[in-house]
Amino acid sequence: MPATFHDELRRIVGPAHVLTGIECGPYVIEGRTPEAVVAPGSKEDVAAVLVAAGEASVPVTPWGGGTTMAVGSPPSRLGLVLLLGRLNRLVEHEPGDLTATVEGGMTVQALQEALGRRGQWLSLDPPHAAKATIGGTLSANVAGPRRHLYGGCRDLLIGLTVVTADGAIVKGGGKVVKNVAGYDLPKLFIGAFGTLGVIVEATLKLRPRPDADRVVVARFERLKDAGVAARTVMASDLLPSALDLIDGEAVRALGLGGADGAALLVGVDGMADQVDWQCREIERLLEPVGLREARVLDGAERDRLWHARGTVGREAFAETAATMRWVLLPSQVADCMEQGAAVAQRAGLRAATAAHAGVGIVEAALGGGEHADLERVAAVLSEWRALVRGAGGHAVIQWAPLAVKERVPVWDEAGPALRIMERIKAQLDPRGVLNPGRAAGGI
Amino acid sequence: MSSLDPGRKAGLRRELEGLLGKGAVLSDPEELLVYESDGLTLFQALADFVVFPTSVEQVSAVVRLANRESLPFVARGAGTGLSGGCLPAEGGLVISLMRMNRVLEVDYENQLAVVEPGLVNLHLSWAVGPKGFYYAPDPSSQQACTIGGNIANNSGGPHTLKYGVTVNHVLGLEVVLPDGEIIWLGGRTRESQGYDLTGLFVGSEGTFGIATKIIVRILRRPQAVKTVLAVFDAVEAASESVSAVIGRGLVPAAMEMIDQLTIQAVEDAFGCGYPRDAAAALLIELDGLREGMEAQAERVMAACRENGAREVRAARDETERQLLWKGRKSAFGAYGRISPAYMVMDGVIPRTRLPEVLRRVNEIVGAHELRVGNVFHAGDGNLHPNILYDPRRPGEVARVVTAGGEILKVCADVGGSISGEHGIGLEKMDYMPLIFTEADLHAMRGVRDAWNPRGLCNPGKIFPSRKACGEASIAYRPHPIEAQGLAQRF
C-alpha cells in the first residue's frame, strides 16, 4: 500500500479518521491485520474512498458493527477496512407511512430506540443489536426469532443506496412500500457480504409496537416431542411471532435447565387479549404431545431469554469449537437436530442446536473440550453438511478457527446459478475490489 | 413489423413445429393479431411467431433456436399486463406459457406449492383451498392472470398491505436463461446461498429469462375476517382516516378507497350497497385470530368516525362482505359502462401524502378536460387514477397521455414511485428518469447484461428509449377481440 494512498485517505476523511499500523489491531480478521482503516463521514466520502482504493488497487472490506466478520471465507488480502460507524443517523421516520430511512452504520438498537419512542419498531431482531448495524445486518442477511411471522431482510427492505466499486452512488427501490419500477436491486445486496457495493442508506418497512409481547417456554422430555409440538403449532390457527426449537445442550446454555429434554419457545405478540388467548391455546394444544411444563415470560425475563437465544451458538460451550448454520425444510428440522447430535456424539464431541423451526434455520454449535481437535471438528462439520444436504438443505460454517476453515469449505456448493452471480459481480465490481473471495462461490 | 423474408419464415415455422408439434406455432398475421397487445391496448406490436411449449425442454429449445437466429423473444402469460411488458416490441417470438398450467406438487406441511407458470393465480387458491390454504397475492385480474406473469411483474393486489407482494411469497424458480440453459434459482428452503437471484428475478419483467417452474409459499386461511365500510363526505377525511388507522397500531389486511365517480358507476352497474352521494368510501378488511377481532374492528371504526366518516358499518355476513368486495373488484368493468375507454394509471406515494396528491390528480385531469375515477390500495399509497376518455374525439388520447405523465411526476415529486404493480414495460420507460439517476439506470443495465448479454430476451423495455416513443403506436384502437364484443378490459 503506497504512502501516497494514506495521504489521499487523510485528505478525504480527515487525519483523525484514518488508522494505520498498530491502531488497526481491533480490525483484525482471521488473523490478518488490515493495511489501513478509514471511517468516512458521508456517502460522498465513501465514494471518494472507493475511487482512491480502486486507483491504488487496494481491496476494501466494509465493516459495520463487526458482529459477522467471522462469517465467510477469509479475505484473500485484507487491504482497507471501511468503517461505516459514522454514518449512523436516522434520516427520516414518518410514523404514518410505517417506513424509516436510516444510514447504513446506525446500530439496530439505536434505530429501535428511536422508533420505539414513536410507538413503532423494525420487526428484525438480529443478535448483538447494540453493535450490529443496519448495513451489516442486511449484508449478512441476519434475522432473529420473529422472522417466523414478520419475515426477514428481503421482506422488510424497500429501498437502498449503495456505493459501488467505481464510486457511483446508486439507489434502488424507493421509500414507498410498494414499488415495481425497475429491477429490485436492493434484493441483490442482502446477503452479499459487501461484495457488490457498500450500503450507505436503507429504507425499511416498520410495524406498530404490539400492546403485549410474551414468550411461552414449553419444556419436553425429548427433542422428538418438542419437534412434534412445533409442527402442531404450525398446523394450527395460532399466529405466533416466533417458534424456536431448542435441544437439551442449548436449553442448558440458555439457563433454562439441565441438558436433558428440549424446549419450544413460542413468541406471541399483539393485542393483550389475543396474546392471553394464544398463551392459553398453546398450552392446550401441546398438552397431548408431551408438554412437561410451560412458563410464560414477559418484560425483562423475556428480553433476557431472547438475548441469550441470539448468542447461543458461539456461547453454547465454555470452548465452542465451531458453529454452523443449516437451512432446511421445516419438516426436517427436528430430525436433523437429533441426527446431528448423534454425529457429534460418535466423534466424542457435543452438539448444541437451536432452530427457527418454522423458517427452517438451525444454528448448530460443536463443543467438547480437549477432544475437540481439528480433525474431529472438521470431520463432524463435513458429516453435518452431508446430513443437511441429504435432507435437501445446505449448511454454512458460521464461525470456526481458520485451520478448520482450511479443511472444510465455509460455503456449501453454489451450483449452476454461480455463473449469473459471477457475471453480476463482474458488472458491478469489475476489478474485484470489494471484499474479494468472501462470499459464496468464492466471489 | 416482421423482418423475416417469407422463405426464412416458412423454414423457421417448420423447424418450430418440429420442436413443439403442429398446432403449437402461429405465424399467420390474423392469428398473431390476438397477441399484439396486452391489457394496455395503447400499444401494439406484431410477433413473427407465437409458440406454445408444454415443457421446460421445449422452452429451452425455442430459446436456443432464437439465439441461433438472433431473433428476439418474449414470454407471455394471460396477457393481462398493463404496461405492454409482454409485447414483442422488436418482433420475433412470443413464447406463450398458457399450456404449462399445472399444479405439480403441494407440500402442506412445509406450506409450499410447485406450479407451472401458466397456472391462473386464482386456480392455485382453488387447488389448495379444500385443505384450508390459499395463495396470498391477489391482483385484481387474479381470475385470468398467471403466476408466471405475476413473477415477471412482482404483482400485488389489495391484500399486499399485510401480506406483501409476489416476491415475498416466492421461494424458488426453475428458469430458462436467455441463452437457453436451464437452472434453478433458490429452491424449497427459505434461503439459498449467495446472491438472492430469486428475489432479483421477480419483477424483472421477463428480461432475465423465462420461469418454467415456480415454488411459492401457501398460507393457512385466517380464522376470522372482518370487513368494514366507512363512508365519507370529503375525500380528505377518507385519506386522513387511512393514516389514523395505521396510527392506532393496526395493520389491516386491505384498505381500499373508492371515490364518488367510481361509486356511482359501480352502483349503476351492480348495486353493491355503496351510498351514491358519498365523496369517498374506504373498504377495510381485518383478518387473523377470532379472539380480539371485534375489538380491532372497533378501533378501526372509531378511527374513521373521529376523522369525519358519516357512516361506518361492518359487513354482517359473508354475503354482504362479498357484495362490498364486488363493488371494489368490478370497478373497472363499471367504468366501461360510463365511458368508451379509460386508461388505468398506477403510481405510489407515501400514504401520508394522499390528501394533497388526490387533489393534484383531480386538478391535472380537470385541466385537460377529462374525468377520473379513483379506486385504489389506499393503505399502501398505491394510486390507480383511471382517466376516462373517448378515443373517437380527436386529440383526446394525447391529452390522456399528457395528464398521465403529469400525475406520475406528482408521485415522483412527493417521494413516490411511477409504478406500484403494473410495471414499466413499454408504457413508462421514458418516465424512469423521474425517479432514477443515470447511475441508478447504469447499474440496472449492468445487472440486465449479466443475465441477458445478447439482449434478445424481451428487448426494448424498462429503460428509457433513445428513439422517442419508438415504433410503438400511441393511437388507440380497440383490440380485435374487444371490437368483436368477445372481451372487455378490466
Q: Which residue in chain A has the smallest CA separation from B439?
A: A170
pLDDT recorded at residue B490: 36
Give the separation between CA A24 and CA A18, rounded to whole angstroms.
10
**pLDDT tier, B476 (very low <50, low <70, confident <90, very high otherwise):** very low
Fold for B224-327, please state it.
Answer: Alpha-Beta Plaits (3.30.70)
pLDDT of residue B454 exceeding 60, the answer is yes
| pLDDT tens by residue, B91-135 | 999 999 999 999 999 999 999 999 999 999 999 999 999 999 999
pLDDT of residue A65 exceeding 70, the answer is yes
| pLDDT tens by residue, B345-366 | 999 999 999 999 999 999 999 9
Measuring CA to CA, how many Å separate B365 from each of B371, B386, B391?
6, 10, 16
| Chain B positions in Cβ-Cβ contact with residue A95 (cut-off 8 Å) | 247
CB contact under 8 A, A171 and B437: yes
Q: What is the DSSP string of A374-415?
A: HHHHHHHHHHHHHHHHHTT-EEEEEE--HHHHHHS-SS----
Q: How many angstroms separate the first and last alpha carbons of chain B?
A: 28
pLDDT more than 70, % of chain A = 100
pLDDT recorded at residue B330: 84
Going by C-beta distance under 8 Å and a sequence separation of 6 or more, which residues neighbour residue B81?
Answer: B38, B39, B40, B149, B152, B153, B422, B423, B425
CB contact under 8 A, A96 and B247: yes
pLDDT of residue B482 exceeding 60, the answer is no
The C-alpha of B46 sits at a distance from chain A's nearest C-alpha, in angstroms, of: 25
pLDDT recorded at residue B246: 87
pLDDT recorded at residue A2: 76
Please tell me the pTM assigned to this model.
0.96
**Residue found by looking up cell 430469486 in the block:** B198
pLDDT recorded at residue A260: 84
| pLDDT tens by residue, A150-198 | 999 999 999 999 999 999 999 999 999 999 999 999 999 999 999 999 9
Q: Name the residue with higher pLDDT: B473 or B249.
A: B249
pLDDT more than 90, % of chain A = 94
pLDDT of residue B259 exceeding 90, the answer is yes
pLDDT of residue B479 exceeding 80, the answer is no
Query: Torsion over CA of A107, A150, A163 and A419, rounded to 10 degrees?
Result: 130
Q: What residue spans of B307-353 are helical by DSSP H?
A: 318-329, 331-338
Measuring CA to CA, how many Å separate B115 from each of B48, B171, B188, B299, B372?
29, 12, 12, 40, 38
| Chain B positions in Cβ-Cβ contact with residue A428 (cut-off 8 Å) | 443, 446-447
pLDDT of residue B218 exceeding 90, the answer is yes
pLDDT recorded at residue A331: 97
The structural domains of chain A, ordered by start, are 3-85 (3.30.43.10), 90-208 (3.30.465.10), 212-297 (3.30.70.2190), 322-407 (3.30.70.1130)
| Chain B positions in Cβ-Cβ contact with residue A414 (cut-off 8 Å) | 193-194
**pLDDT tier, A245 (very low <50, low <70, confident <90, very high otherwise):** very high
Helices A223-234 and A333-346, interaxial angle, to 10°? 160
Which residue in A179, A193, A134, A60 sits closest to B435, CA to CA? A179
Reduced to 3 states (helix: H, G, I; strand: E, B; else coil), residue B490 is coil
Size of interface A-B (CB pairs under 8 A): 253
Note whether B224-327 and B339-427 share their fold. yes
Q: What is the DSSP string of B404-426?
A: HHHHHHHHHHTT-BS-SSS--TT
Q: What is the ipTM of this complex?
A: 0.97
| pLDDT tens by residue, A67-95 | 999 998 887 789 999 999 999 999 999 99
pLDDT recorded at residue B2: 53
- State whether CATH 3.30.70.2740 applies to domain B339-427: yes
pLDDT of residue B468 exceeding 90, the answer is no
Question: Where are chain B's structural domains?
Answer: 6-99, 103-220, 224-327, 339-427
| pLDDT tens by residue, B264-308 | 999 999 899 899 999 999 999 999 999 999 999 999 999 999 999
| pLDDT tens by residue, A228-239 | 999 999 999 999
pLDDT of residue B211 exceeding 90, the answer is yes
pLDDT of residue B467 exceeding 60, the answer is no
B428 touches chain A (CB under 8 A): yes
pLDDT of residue A308 exceeding 70, the answer is yes
pLDDT of residue B480 exceeding 80, the answer is no
Mean pLDDT of chain A: 96
pLDDT recorded at residue B466: 65
CB contact under 8 A, B197 and A361: no
pLDDT of residue B18 exceeding 80, the answer is yes
> What is B103-220's CATH number?
3.30.465.10
pLDDT of residue B206 exceeding 80, the answer is yes
pLDDT recorded at residue B469: 39
What's the CATH architecture for B6-99? 2-Layer Sandwich (3.30)
| Chain A positions in Cβ-Cβ contact with residue B248 (cut-off 8 Å) | 208
pLDDT recorded at residue A371: 77
For testing the chain A interface, which of B190, B217, B293, B346 should be mutated: the one with the most A CBs within 10 Å?
B190
